[in-house]
Amino acid sequence: MVDYKSILTRNPNKRFGRPCVRHTRITVFDVLGWLSTGMSFEEIIYDFPELTLTDIKACLAYAADREHKLEHAS
């Protein structure tokens, strides 16, 4: 799994403090939304060349980790 902690950042003054891919305003939510509509990794990178394959995988790793933590919190 990708170590998302070195890729995703939070800034309370950027995108309401949501986790973003470093040096961008692209949130994890944005990336997950694009993937959920059927965009491929390659299409996302083509439309947003500031992103890398590792960045997209970091968003997925973050989402999986959040889900895991929520599942074990109950």
Q: What is the pLDDT of residues 13-39, one digit of tens each?
A: 999 999 999 999 999 999 999 999 999
Residue 70, by phi and psi: left (phi above 0), alpha (psi -120 to 50) or beta?
alpha
Residues 6+ apart with CB under 8 A from 7: 21, 22, 54, 55, 58
> What is the pLDDT of the chain when averaged over all its residues?
94
**Annotation: CATH topology of 4-68:** Arc Repressor Mutant, subunit A (1.10.10)
Q: How far apart are the C-alpha atoms of 70 and 67, rounded to whole Å?
A: 5
Q: Is the pLDDT of residue 49 over 80?
A: yes
Bridging pattern class, strands 8-9 and 20-21 = antiparallel
